[in-house]
Amino acid sequence: MAQVDQELLKSVIRSIDKKIAWEPLTSKDDKVRINLRVAQGETIVEIPSSEVEDAHEGGAARNRLRERLKRGKKRILDAGPPYMPWVLPKIEPVGAPGPRGGWGGGRR
């Protein structure tokens, strides 16, 4: 990835959140892969390189790039805790049924 592209991505990511750590990853196809990390976790965002080149002009293309990166951050923050099937819910015993009172169900 070119230095100009990295500077653009840095400025866009900093405009979203200053605490996001990011790292460009190598990609074999025509996409830019970015690893985004925040305190809650991390994710990989894939962006077509044509979209990054269009974002240099500014305007709507830059906003589209920003929205893609924001969705990546939101995906990290919205992820719930991992499913753990070995932790079962605690089931408390109810107890034995006893005599029931009411309007007509009492003892004589």
The DSSP result for 31-79, as a single string, is: EEEEEEEETTEEEEEEEEHHHHHHHTT-THHHHHHHHHHHHHHHHHHH-
pLDDT of the residue at 95? 72
Highest mean pLDDT of the ranges 12-16, 78-82, 83-87: 12-16
pLDDT over threshold 80, residue 80 = no
* Cα separation, 86 vs 102, whole angstroms: 43
Domain limits, the chain: 3-78
* Cα separation, 14 vs 66, whole angstroms: 10
pLDDT over threshold 60, residue 60 = yes
DSSP character at residue 104: S
pLDDT: which is higher, 98 or 25: 25
pLDDT of the residue at 69? 95
Amino acid at 92: E
Residue 9: closest CA among 31, 27, 24? 24
Residue 8: closest CA among 72, 71, 51? 51
